[in-house]
Structure 1
Amino acid sequence: MLVCMDKKNWFHLVRDYTERLVAIRSVSPGQGEIQVAQAVLDLLCADDLSAIYTASGLDPIENDPYQRQNAFVFLRGKLPVTLVLLGHIDTVDTIDYGSLERWAFAPDELAKRAEQLLASEQAVSNDVSDWMFGRGAADMKSGVAVNIALMRQLAMQAREEPLPFSVVLLATPDEENESAGVLQGVRFLLRLGEQYGLNYVGVINTDYATALYPGDPHHYIYAGTVGKLLPSFLCIGRESHVGTPFQGLDANLIAAELIRDLSMNDALCDAAGGLVTAPPVTLHATDLKTHYDVQLPFMAYFYLNILTLTTEPGELLETLRQRCQTVLGQMLQRIDATERRWQQASGQEVAMQEARSISILTYAEVYAETVQALGEERVRAALSDEWERWPGTLDKRERSLHLVHRLWALSGRQGPTVVIYYSPPYYPHVAATPGLLQDAITAVISTHPEQKLIQREYFPLLSDMSYLQLADDADLTALTANMPVWDDAATAPRPGSYRLPLEAMQKLGAPVFNWGVHGRGAHQRDESVQMPYSFEALPQLLYETIEQLALLLDETREA
C-alpha cells in the first residue's frame, strides 16, 4: 500500500530540485542538454536509491549529432501495468532577457530584480513572492522536479514493499526543437515493455499550464494534445527589369498576398472538444535574392505554423490550394486593372493582353510530372546531388527549400507558380483516451474542489505527447509525399533527413495527459512558476492519482 508524505516536504524538495535544474544552461540543441540529463539521473539516484530501481541510466538518442541522452529510471511493481512520468529538460535561448541575461538561470538573483524584470509586463499579482523566475522555471524544469520528487518517494517505498504497479520516469531533451528525445523515448519504452512484459496504462506529462484569462483561478489538466503542420510555399514569379514591372511578376508580392490571407486567419483555426486552436502564423518569409540588383525578385518562400485538432495533412493541403487560387486570382485581376490604368495615365494605347494566370501545385505533383518527363533515376540523382551539397546540420526547413528549388529547376516549368509542400516538424494531434488513468484523474479532481481543477481535451501547446500515440487509421500519405526531407527507409537516416517512428507510435498507443505546474510567460523573460500550487499541491495530487490508480487496478482484478 502506498504511504502518503507530508505536503510541506514536497515543497522544499521540488523547489530545491527546480533551482538545481534551472541553474544548468540547457538551451536546445546543445551540450547543456547532456549535463542536465546527468543531473536528473544524479538526483533520482542520490541516497543509494539506484539500487532500488529495476533499471536506470542514460539512453543515447540514435544518430544524434549532439550525442544527447534521455535520463530514465524504472520501478517494476507487482503488476505489468505501467505509468510513465514524462518531462523535457531543454529550454529556449535567453537573449530575450536583455540586460538581465546573465541571471537568466539564477532564480534568486532574478527575484531581486523582479521590478525590472516585469517593468514592461503585466504582473499577475503585485506580490511576486509566490513565483520563481528563470529560464526553464515553468517550461519545464519545475515539472521535471515534481516527477523526480514523486519517483524518489516511490523508490523509498519500494524498499519496503514492491509497488502495486510499475512506474517509469523519462526526462527528454530537444522538446523545444524537433523532439528527438521523446522519439527515442518511444523506442525505449517499447524495448522496456518487451523486456519486462509491460502494459502502458498512460503517460502523465508535467509541462506547465497557465491561466486562460486574467484572474483565472483554475488549474487545468489536459487529455490529449494539439497537433501541428508546417505547410511551406515556394512562390515563383517572373523576372523583369523594375522599369517594366508589368512584364514580370514580383515573387514577394505573391508571398505577401498569401501571407496577408493565411496568417492570423481564424477561418483556418481547428475546433474540437470545446477548444479552438490559435490562428496560423508565419514563422519565416524571405525572397531568394542574395545581392542587390534591379531585377524583380522572382522566387520567394515562407512557411506557416498551423495547429490541428482533427485536420489531416491531405485535407489541409487541399484547403490551402483553394485559398491560394482564390487570393492570387484576385491579385492578378488587380494587376491587370492597374496596368490598364497605368497605360491610360501614361498616354499609351491600352493594349488587349492575355489575362495573367498562376499555377498552384503540390511538391508531389511537380515530382510526378518531372519523373514522367525525365525518368525516376535522373530525378533521384539530381535531388541526391542537391542533398549532398549541404552539411548535415543545415536547418531542415532550408534543406527542404533547396530540394524543392532543385526539383523546380529540373522540371523545366516557368512561373508564375506556387509550389506547396510540407517542412518538418510534424506533430500529430491526439484526442482524449478513456481508461483507468482517466478514471483515476477524475476521482482525484472530484475530491479536491478547493484546487479548482478543470480537465479539458487537447493540451493547447505543442508537446512531446504528440508522439506517444498515433491512430491506426491516420492517413499521412499527403504528408510524406509532400515533405522533401522525409526518409522512411529501413536503413540509417541520411544526415539532415526527417523521419518519425510511425509504427512504434501506433504500437505504443499510450493515453496522454498533461497535469503540470502552473506557470506564466514561457519563452518570455518573465517566465515563472507559481510555487505554492506547483511545488506543494501538484505533487500531492499526482501522488493521490497514483494511489487511486492502484485502487482501480485492485477493483478490476477482483471483478
Structure 2
Amino acid sequence: MLDCQNEVLFYTKQLVNIGSIVNTNGEIEIAQALYTMIASFPYFKENPTNVIKSQTLNDELERYNVLAFVKGTKASSNRTVILMGHLDTVGIEDFTQLAGFAFHPDELLLELKKEKLPPLVKEQAESGDWMFGRGILDMKSGVASNLYLLKYYSEHPDELEGNLIFLAECDEEDSSNGILSAVKDLHNWKEEHHFEYIALVNSDFVSPRFPGDSSRYIYKGTVGKLLPSFFITGAETHVGSAFEGLDPNLIAAELTRQIDYNPELCNEAFGETTMPPVSLKQMDLKPNYTVQTALAAYVYYNFFIHSWTPKDVLEKMKEQARIAFANGLKLFEDRYKHFCKISGEPCRQLPWQPWVMTFEEMETELIKVHNSEYTAHMVEFKENLLLDGTLDLRMYAARVVEEAWKWMPDKSPAVIVFYSSLYSPRIEMTGETAGEQRLIEALEYAVQTVQPKYEEPIVIRNFFPYISDMSFVGLSDDDEALDAAARNNPSWGTKFFVDYQEIRELNIPVVNIGPYGLDAHKRYERMEIDFSVRIVPNLTNEVIKKLLAK
C-alpha cells in the first residue's frame, strides 16, 4: 500500500481553495495553478512537453484542460492508462451566509459546528473523519488522488511498465466542452507517441445507494443521459372566454404528472435500474403578462438510460405525450361540461385530438410543404439566434422549434418531442472484448488486494449512476442510435456538435474509482477522508499495475 494519505489530502485542500465554479474565471485560475504545479515536478522540468494546458475548442468561454504523461522505463510498452477527473464545481448559492467559507474546508468545518446540523451531519462533522467544502467530493479529492499517482510515477518511472496520462478537464458540470476538446489531444498524443489506450479510470465521487448503505462502490461503465423536451402548442383565447381555447400549460402539467418519477420509465440492465425521469424545467413561452392564454409551453426532463437508445426513448416519450395529451383533453372536457351545467350555457363539441410528433417528423413535413424556402429561412434564423448570448443550449433549441412551428399549415394544438441538450452516451462494460475483460479482471484484483486494508465493503457495480465525462471516451450505441439523437436536436450543427466518430475511434474501456461521501451539490457536501485519500489512490494504483504488467 502506498503511504499517500497526507499528500493526497494536501493536494485536495489546495484544489478546493481555488473556487473553480463552472462557467467562471475560476476555471482558468485552477487550470493555470495545476499546470504550474505539475510543471514544477522534476520529471516535467526535464520533460516540459509532457505537460500541457490546452484551451477548449469551439467554446463560448475561455477555459483549459491540463494533461500530462509519464513514460515508464521498467519495460518498453505502448500500453497506456488514463486517469481522469474534472476541475470545475457547481455554484455556492446553497452555502448562503457561509459562502465565504465554501472553498476553505478547515474554516468551514468550524463554522458548521456552530450551527444546528442534521443528526448525521453533526455526528460526521464532530468525528474528525470527514471534510466539508464545495468540490471536495465532486471531485477535487479524486483529482488529487490522480495527481498523487502522476507525481509518484514521475519520481519512479522505473516502476511503470507502460505509460500513464493525467487528464484534468473543465466544464464537466455544464456542457462537457472540456472532455470533447481533450479527445483531440488524446488522439494527437496517440499518433505522436504511439500510445495504446487500454483503460481510463475516472475518479468521480460515489455515495450510498440508500440510507444505511455502508458499501463503497466502484463502477464499470456509466449511465447515459438524455434531455427529452416538449414544445406544446395550445389554442389561445382571452381568459374571459377560457373554454374557447386550450391552455398549453394544462397539457404540460399532465405531461409532468405522467413522466415525473414514473417507474415504468426506469431502464433495467444487468440487474441494475436507473432513476426515473424528473422535470428540470416547466414554463410557458409568453414574454410578458397579458390576459391571453399562452401560445406555447416548454418542458424537459432528465432521463437516464442503461440499455435503451436515444431512438428508444423518443418512441417512449411520444407515447407518454399521447397519454398526457388525451388525459389533458379529457380533464378539459369534464370540467367544461361541469361548467356548462352550473352556468346554464350550451356545450359545444371540442375540436381537438391528441397530436404528437418528433422534431424530425415535423421538419420532414415542413420541407415537403415549403421546400428550400423553409430550409433557407431556418439556416438564417439559427445563425441570427446564435448572436443572442442569453440563450443556453436548451432555450436555443426551444426557440428553433417555436420558429419551425410557425411554418406548419395546421396550427391545431400539438406536442413536438425533441432533444434540447447534449446526449451523454451510456457505456456498457460487458467484458465481451479482450480490453474490457482485462480491465474488469484488474478491477476485481484491485478490490481483492485492497479490501483487507479497509473495514467497509468495496463493491463493484455495472453503471456509474451520475452524469460524467466517461460518456465521451467510448461508445456502446451504434450509428443509428446516435443519428436519432442528432436529427431530433434542433441545435445540432449550429449551437453544438459532437464528433462521435472521433470518440468511437478511441473507444477506451472505462471504470470509476472515486472518493466516497455525501451531499454532492449541496450545502453539506463532504467526503470520508480515509477512503477518499488512502483507499482510492491504492485501488487505482493496483489497477494500473495489473493492467500494464506483461
- Is TM-score (shorter-chain normalized) higher than 0.5? yes
Contact kept in structure 1, 2:426 and 2:477, CA below 8 Å: no
Comparing 55-64 with 125-134, greater Cα deviation is found at 125-134
Work out which of the residue numbers 168, 177, 182 in structure 1 matches 2:179. Answer: 182
Change (3 A) 1:122 1:414: farther
1:356 matched to 2:352? The reply is yes
* Matched residue type, 2:244: Q
Q: Deviation of residue 42 (structure 1)?
A: 2.5
* Matched residue type, 1:467: F
Q: Deviation of residue 389 (structure 1)?
A: 3.8
**Could you tell me how far apart the structure 2 residues matched to 1:498 and 1:350 are?**
49
1:399 matched to 2:396? The reply is yes
Q: Deviation of residue 44 (structure 1)?
A: 2.2
Change (3 A) 1:249 1:543: same
Equivalent residue number for residue 40 of structure 1 = 34
Q: Which residues in structure 2 correspond to 1:189-228 (within 5 Å)?
A: 189-228=186-225
Contact kept in structure 2, 1:273 and 1:458, CA below 8 Å: no
Gaps of 5+ in 2: none
Work out which of the residue numbers 273, 276, 285 in structure 1 matches 2:270. Answer: 273
Equivalent residue number for residue 489 of structure 2 = 483
1:368 matched to 2:364? The reply is yes
SS state at 1:26 partner: coil
Change (3 A) 1:162 1:146: closer
Equivalent residue number for residue 301 of structure 1 = 298
Contact kept in structure 1, 2:396 and 2:491, CA below 8 Å: yes
Q: Deviation of residue 18 (structure 1)?
A: 0.7
**Could you tell me how far apart the structure 1 residues matched to 2:223 and 2:156 are?**
36
**Could you tell me how far apart the structure 2 residues matched to 1:288 and 1:387 are?**
21
Q: Which residues in structure 2 correspond to 1:448-459 (within 5 Å)?
A: 448-450=450-452, 451=454, 452-459=457-464
What fraction of aligned residue pairs are identical, expressed as a percent?
A: 33
Equivalent residue number for residue 71 of structure 2 = 76
Equivalent residue number for residue 385 of structure 1 = 381
Q: Deviation of residue 145 (structure 1)?
A: 0.5
Equivalent residue number for residue 25 of structure 2 = 31
Change (3 A) 1:398 1:349: closer
Q: Which residues in structure 2 correspond to 1:209-288 (within 5 Å)?
A: 209-288=206-285
Contact kept in structure 1, 2:352 and 2:413, CA below 8 Å: no
Change (3 A) 1:240 1:190: same
**Could you tell me how far apart the structure 2 residues matched to 1:181 and 1:144 are?**
15
Contact kept in structure 1, 2:38 and 2:51, CA below 8 Å: no
Change (3 A) 1:206 1:267: same
Q: Deviation of residue 472 (structure 1)?
A: 6.4
Equivalent residue number for residue 144 of structure 2 = 145
Q: Deviation of residue 217 (structure 1)?
A: 2.5
Equivalent residue number for residue 165 of structure 1 = 162
Equivalent residue number for residue 442 of structure 2 = 440
Q: Deviation of residue 392 (structure 1)?
A: 5.7
Comparing 166-175 with 114-123, greater Cα deviation is found at 114-123
Work out which of the residue numbers 516, 519, 523 in structure 2 matches 1:518. Answer: 516
Change (3 A) 1:33 1:542: same
SS state at 1:188 partner: helix
After the TM superposition, list the runs of 4 or more consecutive aligned residues in structure 1 that deviate by more than 4 angstroms. none
Change (3 A) 1:349 1:471: closer
SS state at 1:513 partner: strand
1:56 matched to 2:51? The reply is yes
**Could you tell me how far apart the structure 2 residues matched to 1:232 and 1:397 are?**
9
Q: Deviation of residue 383 (structure 1)?
A: 4.2
Q: Deviation of residue 348 (structure 1)?
A: 3.0
* Matched residue type, 1:365: E
**Could you tell me how far apart the structure 1 residues matched to 2:326 and 2:449 are?**
59
Deviations 1:282-311 (A, max 9, x none): 111111112222211221111111011111
Work out which of the residue numbers 91, 94, 102 in structure 2 matches 1:93. Answer: 91
**Could you tell me how far apart the structure 2 residues matched to 1:176 and 1:117 are?**
29
**Could you tell me how far apart the structure 2 residues matched to 1:485 and 1:122 are?**
44
* Matched residue type, 1:16: F
Equivalent residue number for residue 491 of structure 1 = none
Equivalent residue number for residue 490 of structure 1 = none
Work out which of the residue numbers 452, 464, 474 in structure 1 matches 2:469. Answer: 464
Contact kept in structure 1, 2:169 and 2:182, CA below 8 Å: yes
Contact kept in structure 2, 1:200 and 1:510, CA below 8 Å: yes
Change (3 A) 1:283 1:116: farther
Equivalent residue number for residue 66 of structure 1 = 61
* Matched residue type, 1:463: S
**Could you tell me how far apart the structure 2 residues matched to 1:380 and 1:264 are?**
41
Change (3 A) 1:397 1:436: same
Q: Deviation of residue 122 (structure 1)?
A: 3.8
Comparing 447-456 with 178-187, greater Cα deviation is found at 447-456
Deviations 1:154-193 (A, max 9, x none): 00012xx373011100000000001111111111111111
**Could you tell me how far apart the structure 2 residues matched to 1:89 and 1:121 are?**
31
**Could you tell me how far apart the structure 1 residues matched to 2:427 and 2:515 are?**
21
SS state at 1:83 partner: strand
Contact kept in structure 2, 1:26 and 1:36, CA below 8 Å: yes
Comparing 279-288 with 370-379, greater Cα deviation is found at 370-379
**Could you tell me how far apart the structure 2 residues matched to 1:46 and 1:117 are?**
41
Comparing 321-330 with 472-481, greater Cα deviation is found at 472-481
Equivalent residue number for residue 327 of structure 1 = 324
Comparing 379-388 with 319-328, greater Cα deviation is found at 379-388
1:428 matched to 2:425? The reply is yes
Contact kept in structure 2, 1:52 and 1:155, CA below 8 Å: no
**Could you tell me how far apart the structure 2 residues matched to 1:484 and 1:107 are?**
43
Change (3 A) 1:472 1:283: closer
Gaps of 5+ in 1: 488-493, 555-559
**RMSD after superposition:** 1.8
Comparing 322-331 with 376-385, greater Cα deviation is found at 376-385
Q: Deviation of residue 320 (structure 1)?
A: 1.2
Equivalent residue number for residue 557 of structure 1 = none
